[in-house]
A and B are shown apart, each in its own frame.
Chain A
Amino acid sequence: MINRRYISEFDWITFLIALALSVIGILFVYSATRDVSRTLFLWRQVIWLAGSLIVLLMVLAVDYHTLTEHAHFFYGFGLLFLLAVLVFGTEVRGSKSWLHLGSAALQPSEFVKIATILALVRFFSRCNKEQLSTSEIAVGAGIASIPMVLVMLEGDLGSAMTFLPVFASITVVCGVKKKFLVLGLATALCLSPVAWFSLKNYQRQRIMATFNSELDPRGIGYQAQQSKIAIGSGGMLGKGIFQGTQSQLGFLPARHTDFIFAVLTEETGLNGALVSLGLYFWLLWRILDFTRTARDRTGLLLIVGVASLVAFHVLINVGMVVGLIPVAGIPLPLLSYGGSSMMSTFLGLGLILNVQLRRFFY
């Protein structure tokens, strides 16, 4: 099954960009945790990276068509997992999205995102018309909203939102009538006040704090404010690796997970931040370019799904860290500490590289 030819066709650049981001991530995870836990998180993240690379290889070994053909299994399995979390899960900082299996903790929602992409691709790849019909959009929306509602029930609003851009970008690429686009936007606008009032109090306050960071900087706006201080004080060149006072002295919350980008910017400055963002941009641009050579609709839609998932994570995470978006617990793919996030990102990248690998029909 593994063709010698595949090795020459493998896109090393994409792989190396992802690997570089992961290594940068490990460095700053270490920087953020060395004070409290020495090398504990460093080695854990290294092991997660190793595991992720194995997952990547496994994904590459199987033709993506085989994977999409069995998408309903993954999808169904994923939903069961989410239900299990709701019943047996452990609560970590307000959201019940963790499943503890022995000493390892898994966040099934990360994997369900990939399973949902597969399911959406499997469904939409069969819609061959120029534009999607109303019923097709409705079915697709159904596929996306079941896991989304379950994740929302876990209390992980940030993760739940990621299903929206994935669904939206796949449908837009498949072709949507203008009236649907307009309708979609109008619905979103109409629902936003409803959403506002259905939010929990702390979530509303976080949103308020984004637009006014001076609002109670010791209380609800604390994270956002400390993150901005970390970034702003980094200046052009940063305070030096392991020298960031905001991160090393513990003023920055969740610094090895959600706020890793703030640690990076504090210690390496604008330069480091732009280099990392540049790598993300390069990665996204490159994989979106793969859509040109994708062999079929399935491959193209897979790329679109995964790319929009990664892009949305970067958007929300960096947006939050630089103080443009309310604080939502979404990790930065590859950089943030966390096995589930890293593994599912490599899983997604594996799918894209899979498509790229099998772009020619022999």
Chain B
Amino acid sequence: MPINQDNRQLQARVVFLKITVCLIFALFSVQLWRLTILNHDYYMGLSEKNRVRIVPLIGPRGVIFDRDGRPLVENVKSVDIVVYRDEISDVSNLARFLQSGDIISPEQLESRLRQLRRYPVFHPVVIKENVTLEDIAYIQSHQAEHPEIKIFEEPKRVYRYGSLAAHLLGYVGEVSESQLKGAEYQGSKPGDIVGKFGVERFYNRTLSGTDGQLKVLVNSLGKVRAELEKTPSRIGEELNLTLDLDLQMIAEEQMSDEVGALIALDPRNGEVLAMVSKPGFDPNRFAVRISAGEWKELIENPDNPMQNRAIQNTFSPGSVFKIVMTLAGLERGLLSPQTSVYCPGGATLYGHYFRCHEGGHGLVDLREAIVQSCNVFFYRLGMNMGIDTISSYARMSGLGVPTEIDLPNETTGVMPSAEWKERVYHEKWYAGETISVAVGQGAVSITPIQMARAIGGIALGGHFAVPHVVRTPHSDNDARFKAVEYSWNREHIEFLKESMWGVVNAGGTGHAAVVPGFDVCGKTGTAQTISNAAKQRLGNARRANFESNAWFVGFAPRNDPQIVVAVLLQRGGYGGQAAAPVAGSIFRAYYEKLQTPQRNRQPNLITAAMK
């Protein structure tokens, strides 16, 4: 090729290539402008979201102390496995992974994710709590393939004494979807642990900690590279209960094999010193998201271990009601200490035979009627007084009226009256019904706490303090706990106290509650849960289910009532035999503690708070 070829025609065609190159580069420039300038904010946001992960710092709930400053409920660290949903690339792959590591089944995972679907996607979802070291090792060894799974620490509630005062303390759990809609849990987020029962629920807002958050820089494998910003969490407020751990422990022990309730409170200010409901449960089991099986077992137990019998269940007060009857009779002038009635062991009234003690009490005056718990005396008193007077004094004493205790789910109960029957059943009140009411049977249905409050209030001559379980700095003049006052005749009150002293100390039905040196006064009750006639028809085996409820309600000391104790034992039999000894041991424990010098009662200084 000796000479230059004529390439002009070909050169001209190169223009096509140049035009193509220009077009491509123009297109690129426009696209680059669109991405970097026009949509910069959008992509900047995505870039931030990529690299920043929010780690919630859960604010622990406040510690709960007894009245002497001993911690009852605290927090420990629980290691959980969480999933960041915005990082899940393939749910079925994740489900397989978690299943093969025995962490959680695919169904459980699906329901967890569905449950929290409305929860902001960048917040982690707890899928397993209190994990084992094997679980952690399994997750960590596969961290690269599953950056969406993380190990996470969260405070877990610990009830130091297990089932002790479980109904009073309550339990916590994950807030449900329906609870989130209501006003009570306003401010809670899905996934939050909230109080669901007892003090935990009633004082949920006080106890709840404030969650913080940690913003961290993560790489594409989810590994934290740096902390960006930290809002620390705050522990919830502490609660000091009125509960006395020593008393509560003895009460729990006494009640351990029973079905029933026990309440000890200070009638002067309403402070609850002990509260037991049996059977019970261990709230620690709820601190971890409880399994469906365990929940079912508790719910289906015929003895309803989840109910606080002290405030939620209503019972006939039986003969304990005779104290209210006496008060009403004396105050209305229908009765005097000298009033006497002959008891032949029963009476036929309005065409029905009403029973009393086998063999009869003979001629009894008022004091004797109380001490021996003579029914016939009170049948006649009831007849004279009529239902509306009975009802009026019972309601003044707080029977069939909510006590307004600072615990959730309190039941009102029923104190019947003519008006009540008309309203509820649209029927007239029959005078015959008054006879049953006069001895605390029939339609009268009250909670043990109401009974304790009534006897305590009467003992103080008409000072009905509102029972409460939390001691706030201001609880003495807290408007919520303001006592209801009546000025009843001192002599009548003294007579009642003297009679009740006799019940325990002068050969009465409640002598098993006696505490030497501590003038215990009280009244027993043996409330039928079924009529005698019906009981006769039952076989021996089934009769046990309808055994009478045993009551003892009393206070001490006689001249300066400081403590009132109400004991109810379901199917316990006679109040004097079953309930009085239980109450006696509480009075004894209280008395002994009272004798112990103050300096031995220093609060237990174990650090309870988990910061």
Binding site for B on A (CB under 8 A): 65, 130, 169, 172-175, 218-219, 222, 225-226, 228-236, 245-246, 249-251, 265, 269-270, 273-274, 277, 280-281, 284-285, 288, 291-292, 294-298, 300-301, 304, 307-308, 311, 314-315, 318-319, 322-324, 361
Is the Cβ of B31 less than 8 Å from the Cβ of A288?
no
Is the Cβ of A311 less than 8 Å from the Cβ of B24?
yes
Distance in angstroms from A198 CB to nearest chain B CB is: 27
Contact sample, A vs B, 15 pairs, CB 8 Å cutoff: A173-B16, A175-B13, A230-B47, A232-B47, A233-B44, A234-B36, A235-B37, A235-B44, A245-B217, A251-B51, A291-B11, A296-B5, A300-B14, A304-B14, A361-B3
Q: Which among B219-227, B289-297, B311-319, B423-431 touches the partner chain? A: B219-227
Chain B positions 559 through 580: 1 when the CB is less than 8 Å from some CB of chain A, otherwise 0: 0000000000000000000000
Is the Cβ of A249 less than 8 Å from the Cβ of B27?
no
Contact partner, B43, options A232, A291, A308, A314, Cβ 8 Å = A232
Chain B positions 159 through 175: 1 when the CB is less than 8 Å from some CB of chain A, otherwise 0: 00000000000000000
A295 contacts which chain B residues (CB < 8 A)?
1, 4-5
Contact partner, B39, options A232, A250, A270, A307, Cβ 8 Å = A232
Contact partner, B27, options A288, A301, A311, A324, Cβ 8 Å = A324
B21 contacts which chain A residues (CB < 8 A)?
281, 284-285, 288, 311
Residue of A nearest to B18 (CB): A288
CA distance A315 to B219 in the complex (A): 30
CB contact list, B189-244 vs A, under 8 A:
217-221, 225
B3 contacts which chain A residues (CB < 8 A)?
361
Chain B positions 85 through 99: 1 when the CB is less than 8 Å from some CB of chain A, otherwise 0: 001111000000000
Is the Cβ of A172 less than 8 Å from the Cβ of B16?
yes
Is the Cβ of A265 less than 8 Å from the Cβ of B36?
yes
A280 contacts which chain B residues (CB < 8 A)?
25
Distance in angstroms from B31 CB to nearest chain A CB is: 5
Is the Cβ of B37 less than 8 Å from the Cβ of A236?
yes
CA distance A304 to B15 in the complex (A): 11
CB contact list, B284-309 vs A, under 8 A:
none
CA distance A230 to B37 in the complex (A): 13
CA distance A295 to B5 in the complex (A): 6
Interface centre among B1, B10, B221 (most CB of A within 10 A): B10
Is the Cβ of A277 less than 8 Å from the Cβ of B17?
no
Is the Cβ of A172 less than 8 Å from the Cβ of B13?
yes
B20 contacts which chain A residues (CB < 8 A)?
311
Is the Cβ of B32 less than 8 Å from the Cβ of A274?
yes
CA distance A56 to B9 in the complex (A): 30
Is the Cβ of B28 less than 8 Å from the Cβ of A319?
yes
CA distance A236 to B43 in the complex (A): 13
Residue of A nearest to B220 (CB): A250
B89 contacts which chain A residues (CB < 8 A)?
218-219, 222
Distance in angstroms from A325 CB to nearest chain B CB is: 10
Distance in angstroms from A282 CB to nearest chain B CB is: 10
Interface centre among B36, B42, B51 (most CB of A within 10 A): B36
Is the Cβ of B24 less than 8 Å from the Cβ of A269?
no
CA distance A273 to B25 in the complex (A): 11
Is the Cβ of A300 less than 8 Å from the Cβ of B2?
no
Chain B positions 240 through 276: 1 when the CB is less than 8 Å from some CB of chain A, otherwise 0: 0000000000000000000000000000000000000
Is the Cβ of A324 less than 8 Å from the Cβ of B31?
yes
A219 contacts which chain B residues (CB < 8 A)?
89-90
A318 contacts which chain B residues (CB < 8 A)?
28
A284 contacts which chain B residues (CB < 8 A)?
21
A301 contacts which chain B residues (CB < 8 A)?
10
Contact partner, A251, options B14, B31, B35, B50, Cβ 8 Å = B50
Binding site for A on B (CB under 8 A): 1-5, 7, 9-11, 13-14, 16-18, 20-21, 24-25, 27-29, 31-33, 35-37, 39-40, 42-44, 46-47, 50-51, 87-90, 217-221, 225
The 7 closest A-B pairs by CB, nearest first: A232-B43, A233-B47, A250-B220, A249-B219, A270-B36, A218-B89, A232-B35
B27 contacts which chain A residues (CB < 8 A)?
324
Contact partner, B4, options A265, A269, A361, Cβ 8 Å = A361
Distance in angstroms from A31 CB to nearest chain B CB is: 15
Is the Cβ of B221 less than 8 Å from the Cβ of A294?
no
B87 contacts which chain A residues (CB < 8 A)?
218
Contact partner, B44, options A225, A232, A298, A308, Cβ 8 Å = A232
Residue of A nearest to B36 (CB): A270
CB-CB under 8 A for A291 and B7, given A245-B47, A323-B31: yes
Distance in angstroms from B461 CB to nearest chain A CB is: 75
CA distance A277 to B26 in the complex (A): 10
CA distance A270 to B31 in the complex (A): 10
CA distance A232 to B48 in the complex (A): 12
CB-CB under 8 A for A235 and B50, given A288-B18, A300-B10: no
CA distance A65 to B1 in the complex (A): 10
CA distance A285 to B24 in the complex (A): 13
A319 contacts which chain B residues (CB < 8 A)?
24, 28
Given contacts A235-B37, A291-B11, could you give 6 more A-B pairs where the C-beta distance is less than 8 Å? A130-B9, A235-B40, A250-B219, A294-B7, A304-B14, A304-B17
Distance in angstroms from A17 CB to nearest chain B CB is: 15
Distance in angstroms from B49 CB to nearest chain A CB is: 9
Is the Cβ of A322 less than 8 Å from the Cβ of B46?
no
B13 contacts which chain A residues (CB < 8 A)?
172-173, 175
A246 contacts which chain B residues (CB < 8 A)?
47, 50
Is the Cβ of B9 less than 8 Å from the Cβ of A175?
yes
Distance in angstroms from A268 CB to nearest chain B CB is: 10
CA distance A304 to B7 in the complex (A): 13
Distance in angstroms from A254 CB to nearest chain B CB is: 12
Is the Cβ of B32 less than 8 Å from the Cβ of A265?
yes
Is the Cβ of A285 less than 8 Å from the Cβ of B18?
yes
Is the Cβ of B40 less than 8 Å from the Cβ of A233?
yes
B25 contacts which chain A residues (CB < 8 A)?
277, 280-281
CA distance A307 to B36 in the complex (A): 29
CA distance A228 to B43 in the complex (A): 7
CA distance A234 to B39 in the complex (A): 11
A269 contacts which chain B residues (CB < 8 A)?
36
CA distance A323 to B27 in the complex (A): 12
CA distance A130 to B7 in the complex (A): 11
Contact partner, A322, options B5, B31, B220, Cβ 8 Å = B31
Is the Cβ of A173 less than 8 Å from the Cβ of B35?
no
Interface centre among B3, B24, B27, B225 (most CB of A within 10 A): B24
